[in-house]
């Protein structure tokens, strides 16, 4: 895993030995996201609702390219114009023959250490569900 954080932005890289389509499915569908990211996920149009214990958050799908990337914008985090988002990028790793998953999140605050820890935990859950 490689970490970079600049101006309330977290960028992490994780390696996977799976196909882009299998990984993309886990990143872009309610059923795939509910396996590792949230307890449950609902989809209404382009708005994903994520449920954890007694809380929920919504994010709008604002960009995607099948098997390449998907970007969500958090809804209702703040009244100001700052855009908070998270994005997954799938890149082939020619050296290993595997994939690099880049997780990028723009935060409202500078709590990048907690965000890095949370993403590391969640991506490890994803790997576990994929049998990696």
DSSP 8-state code for residue 24: H
Domain ranges of the chain: 2-129
Alpha carbon of residue 131 to chain centroid: 19
Rg (CA), the chain: 14
**Tens digit of each residue's pLDDT (9 = 90 or more) over 9-28:** 899 999 999 999 999 999 99
**Tens digit of each residue's pLDDT (9 = 90 or more) over 49-86:** 999 998 999 999 999 999 999 999 988 755 444 578 99
User: Which is the CATH superfamily of the domain at 2-129?
Assistant: START domain (3.30.530.20)
Rounded to two decimals, the pTM is 0.85
**Per the structure block, which two tokens stand in for 9?**
């932005």
């Amino acid at each position: 895993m490689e970490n970079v954080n600049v101006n309330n932005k977290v960028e992490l890289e994780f390696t996977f030995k799976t196909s882009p389509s299998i990984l993309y499915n886990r990143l872009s569908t309610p059923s795939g996201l509910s396996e590792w990211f949230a307890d449950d996920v609902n989809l209404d149009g382009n708005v994903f609702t994520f449920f954890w214990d007694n809380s929920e958050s919504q994010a709008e799908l604002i960009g995607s390219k099948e098997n390449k990337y998907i970007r969500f914008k958090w809804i209702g985090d703040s009244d100001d114009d700052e855009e908070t988002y998270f994005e997954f990028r799938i890149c082939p790793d020619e050296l290993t023959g595997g994939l690099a998953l880049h997780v990028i999140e723009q935060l409202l605050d500078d709590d990048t250490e907690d965000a890095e820890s949370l993403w590391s935990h969640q991506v490890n859950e994803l790997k576990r569900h994929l049998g990696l």
